[in-house]
Structure 1
Amino acid sequence: MLAVAVLAAGKGTRMKSDRPKVLQPLAGATLVERVLRSCRTLEPERQLLIVGHQAERVEQELGHLTGLEYVLQQPQNGTGHAVQQLLEPLAGFSGELLVLNGDVPLLRPETLEQLLDRHRQSGAAVTLLTARLDDPTGYGRVFADAEGQVSAIVEHLDCNPAQRDTDLINGGIYCFDWPKLAAVLPLLTSDNDQGELYLTDTVALLQPAFHLEVSDPDEINGVNDRLQLSQCEAVLQDRLRCHWMAEGVTFVDPPSCTLSDGSRFGRDVVVEPQCHFRGSSVIGDGCRIGPGCLIEDSELGCGVEVLHSVVRGAVVADGCAIGPFAQLRAGSNLAAGCRVGNFVEIKNSVLEAEVKVNHLSYIGDADLGSGVNVGAGTITANYDGLRKHRTVIGAGSKTGANSVLVAPINLGERVTVGAGSTLTKDVPSGALAIGRARQLIKENWPGPA
């Protein structure tokens, strides 16, 4: 049996943020969510989150996650004190306890699987994750023999000059035999530079103790400030881009583009520089995105082109072209072959196949039939000051430049709207609608004095 405990009680004062450190965002997910995801493949029987600073907020923002048990650490007096809080909720538990840190978000699931296998095969009382760093400043040093058996861990502040020369560091990730750990947790003391209870001190009390050295030290990168958060973001973004390039996506300038974990791409997609993908976005085969695009929580079919545009909460079918400088807002649904051009905004509207909205238009709360051609500067006036109303334009209709359609309004099929018209009444199919002031010309008009 396996239980996972995530330490998430710290204040994170160096972040200089009103948000708890473990709730800081990283590539579309919080730090602690990433930590929890890393152990999902282990299928633990118990998942415990040790909370303290802004505990209620942490619980609230993680409310969408199931199977989490929250354990309060109050006050926060070190990692050993945090794990002591598990003595009651894990009373009678006889399996392994995997201890993770809520601010170490880059662990790969396969690394944790290797740690658990190493622990079980060695028969260790504790197995810890280690790494070798060119600059180990700030990390606890691990002292072990050639077989990987650990004799001691010394925190950086407690190291003497000779001990600080050791480059093998403690990653802060442990797998314990829980009954053995439970027996020694009450023995911890705060006789150290920080005056805290260190979980590392249990290693000297538990034998045998072994370590597993990770091949990629980036995995144990912690986040204590904004600089380290940005460094973790860079590592994660590089992983995501490398993954999708291996799956057949071309990034013309990879470092200039960012992705979320929820982004999905088909084959032969080309992503130009300065493109960003957020939330759960699906990009179909053969799309060309960018340069200069933001795609968020949207679904693009095959062969879609988007240039210098923003697409949020939209569904775009095969063969559509968006931009430049267009915005598709939530609820926009475009059928195959639509064209949305420069400085056009679409919101909460359905465009059937082959609709063209090429220039300087706002289409909000509207339904456009197939083949509709929207003239430059056409506006659906959907808001009366209290409520939103819908505009319906039938298949094959055309609006002239600078038309205003005041909703609620229904235009039939094959309607032609004269340029400059403001329409407030329904128009039957096959009609020409003109609603503009009569042009007056007064000759020999005296100019301004």
Structure 2
Amino acid sequence: MVAVAILAAGRGTRMKSEYPKVLHELGGKSLVERALLSCASVNPSKQLAIVGYQSERVKASLTNYENLEFVEQKEQLGTGHAIQQLLPHLQDFQGDLLVLNGDVPLLRSQTIAKLWETHKKHQNAATLLTAQLPNPRGYGRVFCDNNSYVQQIVEDRDCTTAQKQNCRINGGIYCFNWQQLAKILPDLKADNDQKEYYITDVFAMMQPVMAVDVEDYQEITGINDRRQLASAYQILQQRVKDAWMAAGVTLIDPDSITIDDTVTLHPDTIIEPQTHLRGETEIGSGCRIGPGSLIENSTIAENVTVLYSVVSESEIEAGTRVGPYAHLRGQVKVGKSCRVGNFVELKKTSLGEKTNVAHLSYLGDTTVGDRVNIGAGTITANYDGVNKHPTAIDDGTKIGANSVLVAPVTLGKEVTIAAGSTITEDVEDDSLAIARCRQTVKKGWRLQS
């Protein structure tokens, strides 16, 4: 049985922000959310977030985590002081406590699982995650025996020249036997220049303590300022893109592409340069996305092309072509083998199969059937200044260029709308609707001088 505590009380002054540091986003999720998600592999029986600065804002951001408890740290007096706040909340808890930092967002779930498994296997009092840094300057060093049991932790400024050759540093991620830790916590003292209580002071009072080296030292990267946030994003992107290329996805220019780690891609899809995939997006096999496209929270079936376009909160079925310069937003559903072309905007609209909206059109709150052709410059006038109204266009209908469909309006099957018409009334099946003034030509109309 394991409980997880996330340290999320600090302000993060170096971020130069009115927001708490842990609420800054990395790849579509806040730093603290990423810390929480990294613990999923250990299936914790309790999850606690230790909050302080703007605690209400932090709590509000995590309302989707139903089993998360919040612990107030009214004064930020160090990591040891933060863990002391858990004492009344874990009074009857018998198990292990995992301690993570809310500003360390790159930990892999398998790393956390390995830390806990090592802790249980060796029945340690405490186990800490360590890393072998190529340049450990400025970090405290962890000294272990040949069996990885911790013998000493020395701050960088206190290390001898020989000790500085040791590259193992403390990653700030810990697993404790809670019952042993709970007995020691009240005895922590703030005997240091900062007058803070350090959780690392407990290691001298607990035995045995073991170190577990993380395989990729970048996982323990902490975020203290905007540059480190940007660096962490690059690390996350490299992970994601390497994984998808290994899985059979072609990225034409990986450095110009961004892909959230919540995105799902299928083999033989090609992602062109300057394309960005966000949120809960899934893209089927054989697609060509981009260049210059943004897809967010959308589902795209196989063999779809999206060129220089934006697709948000929408679904596109197989064999459809989108773009260039199209915008699909707000619950759009496009059927199989459709064409949504140049400078077309669709909002809360569904298209049936083999339907074309080729260029310069706007359809909003519209239901379109199969084999419909929407001529260039067609718009649905769906807003009366107060409410939005629907338009329905049935199978096989053809809308002439530069037409306006004033909603609410319904067009039946196999209807033809003459070019330049403004349609304000329903049109029955198999009808031709012409709604424009008859052309008048007046010869010699100019005034005589």
**Normalising by the residue count of structure 2, what TM-score does the alignment of the two structures yield?**
0.96
Unpaired runs of 5+ residues, structure 1, are none
Stretch moving more, 352-361 or 173-182: 173-182
The residue aligned with 2:286 is 286
Alignment map for 1:23-34 (pairs within 5 Å): 23-34=23-34
The residue aligned with 2:72 is 72
Is residue 262 of structure 2 the alignment partner of residue 265 of structure 1? Answer: no
Alpha-carbon distance in structure 2 between the residues aligned to 1:307 and 1:127? 51
The residue aligned with 2:214 is 214
Is residue 139 of structure 2 the alignment partner of residue 119 of structure 1? Answer: no
Stretch moving more, 360-369 or 87-96: 87-96
The residue aligned with 2:168 is 168
Instruction: Pick closer, same or farther for the CA change 1:299–1:42 going to 2, 3 Å.
Output: same
The residue aligned with 1:329 is 329
Asked if the contact 1:397/1:414 (under 8 Å) is kept, the reply is yes
Query: What is the letter of the counterpart of residue 107 of structure 2?
Result: L
Alpha-carbon distance in structure 2 between the residues aligned to 1:305 and 1:420? 31
Alpha-carbon distance in structure 1 between the residues aligned to 2:207 and 2:246? 44
Alpha-carbon distance in structure 1 between the residues aligned to 2:45 and 2:408? 56
SS in 2 for 1:240: helix
Instruction: Pick closer, same or farther for the CA change 1:287–1:232 going to 2, 3 Å.
Output: same
Alignment map for 1:341-420 (pairs within 5 Å): 341-420=341-420
SS in 2 for 1:173: strand
Alpha-carbon distance in structure 1 between the residues aligned to 2:173 and 2:182? 17
The residue aligned with 2:249 is 249
Query: What is the letter of the counterpart of residue 53 of structure 2?
Result: H
Alpha-carbon distance in structure 1 between the residues aligned to 2:285 and 2:97? 44
Instruction: Pick closer, same or farther for the CA change 1:267–1:129 going to 2, 3 Å.
Output: same
Alpha-carbon distance in structure 2 between the residues aligned to 1:157 and 1:199? 19
The residue aligned with 1:444 is 444
SS in 2 for 1:80: helix
- Report deviation, 1:58: 1.0
Alpha-carbon distance in structure 1 between the residues aligned to 2:117 and 2:201? 23
Alignment map for 1:294-309 (pairs within 5 Å): 294-309=294-309
- Report deviation, 1:15: 1.1
Alpha-carbon distance in structure 1 between the residues aligned to 2:337 and 2:262? 26
- Report deviation, 1:165: 5.2
The residue aligned with 2:107 is 107
Alpha-carbon distance in structure 1 between the residues aligned to 2:177 and 2:321? 58
Alignment map for 1:77-88 (pairs within 5 Å): 77-88=77-88
Instruction: Pick closer, same or farther for the CA change 1:87–1:160 going to 2, 3 Å.
Output: farther
Is residue 59 of structure 2 the alignment partner of residue 59 of structure 1? Answer: yes
Query: What is the letter of the counterpart of residue 261 of structure 1?
Result: D
SS in 2 for 1:218: helix
SS in 1 for 2:377: coil
- Report deviation, 1:447: 8.1
Alpha-carbon distance in structure 2 between the residues aligned to 1:212 and 1:37? 20
**1:261-309 residue CA offsets vs partner (Å, 9 max, x unmatched):** 2211122111111111111111112111111111111111111111000
Alignment map for 1:133-212 (pairs within 5 Å): 133-156=133-156, 164=164, 166-212=166-212
- Report deviation, 1:187: 1.9
**1:7-60 residue CA offsets vs partner (Å, 9 max, x unmatched):** 111101111122211111111211111111111111121111111111111111
CA RMSD of aligned residues (A): 1.8
Query: What is the letter of the counterpart of residue 331 of structure 1?
Result: Q
**1:115-135 residue CA offsets vs partner (Å, 9 max, x unmatched):** 112222333211111112122
**Moved runs in structure 1, 4+ residues, more than 6 A?**
none
Asked if the contact 1:132/1:169 (under 8 Å) is kept, the reply is yes
Unpaired runs of 5+ residues, structure 2, are none
Asked if the contact 1:375/1:398 (under 8 Å) is kept, the reply is yes
Instruction: Pick closer, same or farther for the CA change 1:376–1:447 going to 2, 3 Å.
Output: farther
SS in 2 for 1:186: helix
- Report deviation, 1:159: 5.6
Alpha-carbon distance in structure 2 between the residues aligned to 1:425 and 1:182? 76
Alignment map for 1:223-238 (pairs within 5 Å): 223-238=223-238
The residue aligned with 2:130 is 130
Asked if the contact 1:158/1:193 (under 8 Å) is kept, the reply is no
- Report deviation, 1:160: 6.8
Aligned residues: 449
**1:197-218 residue CA offsets vs partner (Å, 9 max, x unmatched):** 1111111121222111112100
Asked if the contact 1:153/1:201 (under 8 Å) is kept, the reply is no
Alpha-carbon distance in structure 1 between the residues aligned to 2:75 and 2:447? 81
**1:384-421 residue CA offsets vs partner (Å, 9 max, x unmatched):** 10111111112111111111111111111111111111
The residue aligned with 1:316 is 316
SS in 1 for 2:302: coil
Alpha-carbon distance in structure 2 between the residues aligned to 1:448 and 1:271? 65
The residue aligned with 1:432 is 432
